[in-house]
Amino acid sequence: MDADFWLQRWHEGQTGFHQSRVTPLLQKYWSGLSLPAASRVLVPLAGKSLDVAWLAAQGHEVLAVELSPLAVEQFFADQKLQPEVRESSMGRHYVAGNIEYLCGDIFDLDAATLSQCTGFYDRAALIALTPELRQRYVRHVYGQLAKGCRGLLLTLEYTQEQMDGPPFAVLEGEVRVHYAEAGGWDVQVLDRRAILDKEPKFAARGLDHLDTLVYRMERNSL
Q: In the chain, where are the structural domains located?
A: 3-219
207 annotated ligand-binding residue:
no
123 annotated ligand-binding residue:
yes
CATH fit for domain 3-219, picks 3.40.50.10470, 3.40.47.10, 3.30.420.40, 3.40.50.150: 3.40.50.150
CA angle 91, 155, 108 (to 5 degrees): 15
Q: Does the structure show a pLDDT above 70 at 12?
A: no
Average pLDDT over residues 212-220: 97
Distance CA(93)–CA(136), nearest Å, equals: 24
Q: 88 — phi, psi (to 5°)?
A: -145, 180
Average pLDDT over residues 8-37: 82
Whether 218 and 150 have beta carbons less than 8 Å apart is answered as yes
Q: Give 81-124 pLDDT, tens digit per residue.
A: 999 999 999 999 999 999 999 999 999 999 999 999 999 999 98
45 annotated ligand-binding residue:
yes
Distance CA(174)–CA(134), nearest Å, equals: 10
Q: Does the structure show a pLDDT above 60 at 220?
A: yes
Q: Where are the alpha helices (DSSP H) in 12-160?
A: 24-29, 50-57, 69-78, 111-115, 131-141
Q: Give 183-199 pLDDT, tens digit per residue.
A: 999 999 999 999 999 99
